[in-house]
Structure formats: C-alpha cells, structure tokens
A = this chain, B = another copy of it.
Amino acid sequence: MGILVIGSVALDTVTTPFGSMTDGLGGSATHFSVSASYFTKVSMVAVVGTDFPHEHVEFLKSRDIDVSGLETVPGKTFRWTGHYGIDLNSAQTLKTELNVFQNFIPKVPQKFGQNDFVFLANIDPDLQRSVIEQVKKPKLLACDTMNFWIEGKRESLLKTISLVDMIVINEGEARLLSGKTNLVKAAQVIHQLGPRIVVIKQGEYGALLFYDGHIFSAPGMPLSDVFDPTGAGDSFAGGLFGYLAMKNDLSLSTFRQAMIVGSVMASYNVEKFSCDRIRHLTQKDLHARYTAFKNLSHFDEISF
C-alpha cells in the first residue's frame, strides 16, 4: 500500500559540537519519505523554491519517491538554522525562514488521493487539513506537529487532531498539548482529542505507543557516535508508517514491529548530517540494526 505525505522540504543549516552543514537537504517530508521509501511507495506533496538544488530532486526520485506533488515556485526554499549543544538532546532554533511556504496551498495530485496511508508531517495545521479534504478516507491517517503550532495555532491544530487516527509527537509536545506532565495521563487526554493511537517520541530514550489501552515501549539504541539528530523523529515516523503500509495491517502486533522499524531508521538517521546515512542503506544494514534492537531488549522468561 502506498503512502501520501505532506510536510516540509527544506534546506537546513546545522551546527553541532562535531561539525556543521550549510543548506543540507532537510525537512519533515524529506526525512519521512526517504525513511519510508525502504518499505513502500511514497508520494510527496510539498513546495520548494527555484533555488532548490536539482540533485536533491534526483535523489528523491532515485528512492522511487513520487515527486509529482513537489511544486517548485518562484522564491527561496524554506530554510531552518539550528544548533545542538553537547548533549544533542534538543535543538536551539536560530532562524526559520518560511519563504515559499508562506503562500503554499497544497494541491494533491488526483492519483495521490487513492493512497491508503496518509501522513501529515509537521506543517501548518491548516495545510494538514486542506490535504485531508482532498483525499478519500484513508485506512490510516496520522499527523505530527510541533510546539510552534501547539502554542500559536491551537484551535486549528485541535481541528486537525480531531480528524486523525494517530498522532506522532515528542514528549515535550505531548505535555504541552495535553497540559499533563505524566505521559500516561497526557496520552489519555490526547486520545480524547480524537486519535485512537498515540505515539510519543522520547529522543535517545526511544518511543511509546498507546494503542487500545496497551502500551509498548521501543528502546532507544545507545550509539557511541551521534552526529546530528535533525530529522530523527521524521525518520522514525517514516519507518513506522512505511512498515505498516508494507504490511497493510494495523494490528497491535504489527504496530509493535513498526515501532521497532521506526527506531531502526531513526538510529541510522542520527549517524550523519542531513539524510546522508539513510540515503544508501542496504537490506543488510536494516537487518543488522534490527538484530541489535532485538539483542538490546530481549530477555528470557523469568520464573520467580
């Protein structure tokens, strides 16, 4: 089953204690799509400016991502400039230049509207909703969001959230959205806003799935060399969604597996700047990291 994703395609400028990158390929839709492309066909709706390097479009195509919904309009591509300190846990946003995103109205190509899996990556909740209106009811409709929209456009965001089956957000956002510090209570509040399925990302600590009263915890992979966390959450969502779409199954068992697949992709994402590490993964790479996750979390039956 194919995936339709709407989100940002960006040029990121990032500094970390380990180096810096200027105008690297970034954006929520980018990381999501590249990650999901290892598992299923992805169709992308987004916008770039005329300054967007053609090589990036070629790269997306090389991952078999359908970019016919990627508009190029006069002006500059969306740019994000951020900095990470030594703990790499949270980015400090130095500059956000919306550029062509300021007047963007998503147009979903007719053929894209048939995708059974639709992911609304982090973007203005008005735009997320305009995509919902352009597609037939999907089998799984999910969204991400961020503090900026929770604080600045709450009413619109709540409308979007009321329409989705699943939300994927980080723990700080879950707390801000719900007004609850405790994550179990936060998930309960968010369920009441609409989504049956709540996924809370916890950065290096992994991610929690709240599904029909069940909780699943995907561990974070301890890595000795974390280079750039930018896009890790989107890569996680891409692996999660990609696996669900590939299996075309929404059972709890498949969701648990999908959380691990998402974690595999996120753990590769952080090993280099931009999409550089997840550009060229092999099946062997995926299997090796999956095996590492099994070893990380497996324990034999305990008898007390």
Interface residues of chain A, those whose CB is within 8 Å of chain B, are 39, 86-88, 181-185, 188, 202, 205-206, 208, 214-217, 219-220, 222-226, 243, 253, 256-257, 259-261, 283, 286-287, 290, 295-300, 302, 304
**Are A257 and B181 neighbours in the complex by a CB distance under 8 Å?**
no
A94 to B257, CA, bound (A): 45
Q: How far is the CA of A226 from the CA of B62 in the complex (A)?
A: 49
Instruction: Give the interface centre of A39, A286, A298 by most chain B CB atoms within 10 Å.
Output: A298
CB contact under 8 A between A217 and B216, given known A256-B299, A299-B260: no
CA distance A183 to B205 in the complex (A): 12
User: In the complex the two chains form, is B302's CB within 8 Å of A224's CB?
Assistant: no
With a cutoff of 8 Å between Cβ atoms, the chain B residues found around residue A297 in the complex are: 216-217, 219, 297
A184 cross-chain contacts in B, Cβ below 8 A: 222-224
Say whether A260 contacts B205, CB under 8 Å.
no
Q: Write out the residue numbers on chain B whose beta carbons fall within 8 Å of the beta carbon of A299.
A: 216, 253, 256-257, 259-260
* Candidates B188, B219, B298; contact of A219 at CB < 8 Å: B219
The answer for the CA separation of A223 and B223 in the assembled complex, in Å, is 27
Q: Could you write out 30 A-B pairs with CB less than 8 Å apart?
A: A39-B304, A86-B181, A88-B181, A182-B223, A182-B224, A184-B222, A184-B224, A188-B224, A202-B205, A205-B205, A205-B206, A214-B295, A215-B295, A215-B296, A216-B297, A216-B299, A217-B219, A217-B222, A217-B297, A219-B219, A243-B302, A256-B298, A256-B299, A256-B300, A257-B302, A260-B302, A286-B304, A290-B302, A290-B304, A297-B297
A127 and B286 CA atoms in complex are apart in Å by: 49
9 interchain residue pairs of minimum CB distance: A184-B224, A217-B219, A256-B299, A205-B205, A257-B302, A184-B222, A217-B296, A86-B181, A297-B297
Minimum CB–CB distance for A187 against chain B, Å: 8
Contacts A286-B304, A290-B304 supplied; 5 other A-B pairs, CB < 8 Å: A88-B181, A182-B225, A205-B205, A217-B219, A287-B304
Which residues on B sit within 8 Å (CB–CB) of A226? Answer: 182
What distance in Å separates the Cβ of A285 from its nearest Cβ neighbour in chain B?
Answer: 10
Q: Are B215 and A217 in contact (CB under 8 A)?
A: no
Instruction: Enumerate chain B residues within 8 angstroms of A287, measured Cβ to Cβ.
Output: 304
Cα–Cα, bound, A103→B215 (Å): 49
**C-alpha gap A287/B302 in the complex (Å):** 9
| Docked complex Cα distance between A87 and B175 (Å) | 11
